[in-house]
Amino acid sequence: MAKISLGKKVANFTLTDKDGTAVSLQSFKGKRKVIYFYPKDDTPGCTIEAKEFSEALPKFKRKKTVVIGISGGTDKTKKKFCDKYKLSHVLLTDPDFLVAQSFDSYGKKKFMGREYMGIFRKTFVLDENDKLVAVFDDVTPKGHAEEVLKSL
């Protein structure tokens, strides 16, 4: 999968949601898309970010924008995460991290002196034709959904 860049069309991809249903980028044709990558289901920062996006969903819908969260894990971890926090936006699982890699959102991370491979917290905005129009690097979970909303 080719890397993406600002102003270019993002290639279609298909991942599964919390119910194991295949969901492709093309499913949202004609709508703007906010795609955010988060490290792991049901962890403190990821929970804050997911809850804020879910709570702001009506505002995103008014702007004809869908919100899609992507991380590793499985459909089961996504379902448990959605059920526990009543999340209503789309969460997709990227078990091989191929989509995250194409968005340059996967690589070497450091935490408490330990190095490991993982997903970076980044957000991307695509227009109605799947062209990349904005990138948010080094995201802080609290307040991020509102920050993205203001950019639309």
The Cα 64–Cα 125 span in angstroms is 12
DSSP codes of every residue in 78-124: HHHHHHHHT--SEEEE-TT-HHHHHTT-EEEEEETTEEEEEE--EEE
What 8-state DSSP symbol labels residue 21? Answer: -
Query: Are the CB atoms for 39 and 8 separated by under 8 Å?
Result: no
Please state which of the four CATH numbers 1.10.10.2840, 3.40.50.720, 3.40.30.10, 1.10.569.10 is assigned to the domain occupying 30-151: 3.40.30.10
Bridge-based pairing of strands 90-93 and 65-71 is: parallel
Q: Give residue 2's pLDDT.
A: 62
Q: Which of 23, 42, 44 is nearest to 33 (CA)?
A: 23
Three-state DSSP state, 136:
strand
Would the pLDDT of 112 be above 90? no
Domain residue ranges of the chain, discontinuous segments joined by +:
30-151
Would the pLDDT of 138 be above 90? no
Would the pLDDT of 12 be above 90? yes
* 79 class by beta-carbon count within 10 Å (0-12 exposed, 13-18 middle, 19+ buried): middle
pLDDT in tens, 44-57: 999 999 999 999 99
Beta-carbon count within 10 A of 120 CB: 18
Mean pLDDT, residues 10-34 taken together: 95
Catalytic residue (one of 15, 25, 35, 46): 46
Q: Say whether 46 is catalytic.
A: yes
Strand-pair partners of 132: 126
Mean pLDDT of the chain: 94
